[in-house]
Chain A
Amino acid sequence: MNVNIAPGSIPNAPEPMEWPEGTLTRVPYWVYQSPEVTALEQQRLFEGPVWNFLCLEAEVGKPGDYRTTFVGAMPVIVARDFDDEIYAFENRCAHRGALIALDGGGHARDFTCVYHAWNYDLKGNLKAVAFEDGVNGKGGMGKTFCRADHGPRKLRIALFCGLVFGSLSDDVPPIEEYLGEEVARLIKRVLHKPVVVTGRYTQMLPNNWKLYFENVKDTYHASLLHTFFTTFRINRLSQRGGMVVSPDGGNHASFSFIDTKNNETNYAAMGIRSENEGFALKDPSLLEVVDEFNDGCQMQILTVFPNFVLQQIQNALAVRQVLPAGQTETALNWTTFGFADDTPEMARLRLRQNNLAGPAGYVSMEDGAVGGFVQRGIAAASGERAVLEMGGSSTANEGTRATEASVRGFWKRYRGLMGI
């Protein structure tokens, strides 16, 4: 075990904090419960050699535009400077540590901390200290004080298809290498032209962030938990589809193609609840899909470790940012979007199909609650473990979605970074 925490100091973990031996097919429940794990994740994972999704380039479209967000628990400002480049830095004044920007975003020429008026440019450089030379020759900063030595931590930035990623690490690979060839290609597939934001909201999930990130990667549950989907043949495991997992395990994409001729017998034969005959929409135009990517793919769900989701459910497009809020709460930030050249008809179709996802989503509202069902279910089970054996024990790409390969991939990546 390679952690800085003394064995046995984690109250919720069996002693010592050991992963069940062997494969990636077991996940101990203390990993969703322990404050020490949360602290270690901040240090080794979110501030480690990863690319955190910060925002869309379109959200900081003009020089002076900024957004505030987080890297794990770390508050961050993302700004476009007047050189037209995007910068990100910790939202923490170098003086006393107060937040530099207090709102969610806007437009600014510079930032001034409200506490003692220390001033920063849009790159995060400390530019002015109030009363630096004192008043009437008295007070002021010491002679050795150098502004350039003080400032919030700066992030490296990577831009990919209009997505803004940030990293605190000098060792993180270039973004395309980090994504892996196939995942990068599938991001390009969707984000192939300028986007316009159509809405933003936050869904507060009553569970550890990892339970949500696993849920998004988990193709096994989709057609079983979400009955709206299966009933309308949007997402049956029997239909043509598959998934890719990046070589390091962290990123994935699952996709499906409508195949109306495929057999419908499996669900009925197993008596699975998802089989819900006789259920018809009075306004089926909601499900009229425009094959806008010209490849017949109806749905693509894609993740980038540790906190990014790209969603294409028919023509409902969104990005989701997964942010931990302590051990047992997660902020899921949704940004819905369309394309700048959408026709009015296409724009309306997206608004209608956005009913499919989000906190009230026909096919996703259950995901808001199911992590909480786990978090509550394991309340007394820190010494027990989850079983991930669907599709075997590997993290390899599969031509089926009846597998937990991408969930195992998540744990491979997670444990590699965490050293547990």
Chain B
Amino acid sequence: MSAAITIERILALQARYTRCIDNNALEEWPDLFADECLYVVTTAENHRNGYPSGIIYADTKNMLVDRVTALRQANVYEKQSYRHILGLPNVTKNDDAGAESETPFLVVRIMHDGQTSIFATGVYLDTYRNAGSDLKFGRRIAVCDSSRIDTLLALPL
């Protein structure tokens, strides 16, 4: 019998997620997902049209690990960080089969020279899974309101 998925546990996972990215602790990021997971960054237009392609698309946990490895070892981008500001999760489903929520996000990007801009806004469409005593994301679709990405998307949203 696994623990009930309470709003407190959902909030704690959401908070851990943003802290992990904003504090540059990307190595911890994949562990916030269940072993079987899906992480996609897409746009509202693509989501509305049913277009499956993502700007980032990972359907295994190892792909999340590889994304971090690539960012650390292979890819070239100017030093930058995000500040995630989340709205309140709207829990749209919570029953024996699991929980789902929609959580608005605003991501500010801070470049190494101080240039600060609103980089993305949108909503996280999440499902949750119990993994032992931990709550993890089964699926996290970051649906960006805008179809425009400025320059590049290095760090995950």
Task: Check if B42 sits within 8 Å of A199, measured CB to CB.
Answer: yes
CB distance from B19 to the nearest CB of A (A): 21
State A352–B58 Cα separation when bound (angstroms).
Answer: 7
- Total interface residues on A, CB under 8 Å, equals 39
Question: What chain B residues lie within 8 Å of A198 (beta carbons)?
Answer: 51-53
Task: Check if A202 sits within 8 Å of B75, measured CB to CB.
Answer: no
Of the candidate stretches A172-180, A261-269, A365-373, the one touching chain B is: A365-373
Question: What chain A residues lie within 8 Å of B150 (beta carbons)?
Answer: 204, 206
Task: Check if A351 sits within 8 Å of B53, measured CB to CB.
Answer: yes
Also in contact, A197 and B66, with CB within 8 A (given A204-B150, A355-B57) = no
The contact of B55 among A225, A347, A358, A366, by CB within 8 Å, is: A358
Write out, one digit per residue, whether chain B residues 68-105 have a CB within 8 A of any chain A CB (1) or not (0).
01100111111000000000000000000000000000
Question: What chain B residues lie within 8 Å of A169 (beta carbons)?
Answer: none
CB contact list, A358-394 vs B, under 8 A: 358-360, 362, 365-366, 368-369, 372
B46 interfacial contact with A, CB 8 Å? yes
Question: What chain A residues lie within 8 Å of B74 (beta carbons)?
Answer: 227-228, 231, 276, 279, 362
The contact of A368 among B45, B60, B70, B152, by CB within 8 Å, is: B152
B57, B67, B74, B76 — which one has the most chain A CB atoms within 10 A of its CB? B74
Query: Who on chain A is nearest to B76 by CB?
Result: A366
Task: Check if A352 sits within 8 Å of B51, measured CB to CB.
Answer: no
Question: What chain B residues lie within 8 Å of A204 (beta carbons)?
Answer: 148-151
The contact of A201 among B52, B55, B77, by CB within 8 Å, is: B55
B59 interfacial contact with A, CB 8 Å? yes
CB distance from A372 to the nearest CB of B (A): 7
Task: Check if A359 sits within 8 Å of B55, measured CB to CB.
Answer: yes
The contact of A228 among B43, B59, B65, B75, by CB within 8 Å, is: B75
28 chain-A/chain-B pairs, Cβ below 8 angstroms: A198-B52, A198-B53, A199-B42, A199-B54, A200-B147, A201-B148, A202-B148, A203-B152, A204-B148, A204-B151, A205-B151, A227-B73, A276-B73, A282-B62, A282-B66, A351-B59, A352-B57, A354-B54, A355-B56, A355-B58, A355-B67, A359-B151, A359-B153, A360-B55, A365-B75, A365-B77, A368-B152, A372-B151
5 closest A-B pairs by CB: A199-B53, A283-B62, A368-B152, A282-B62, A360-B153
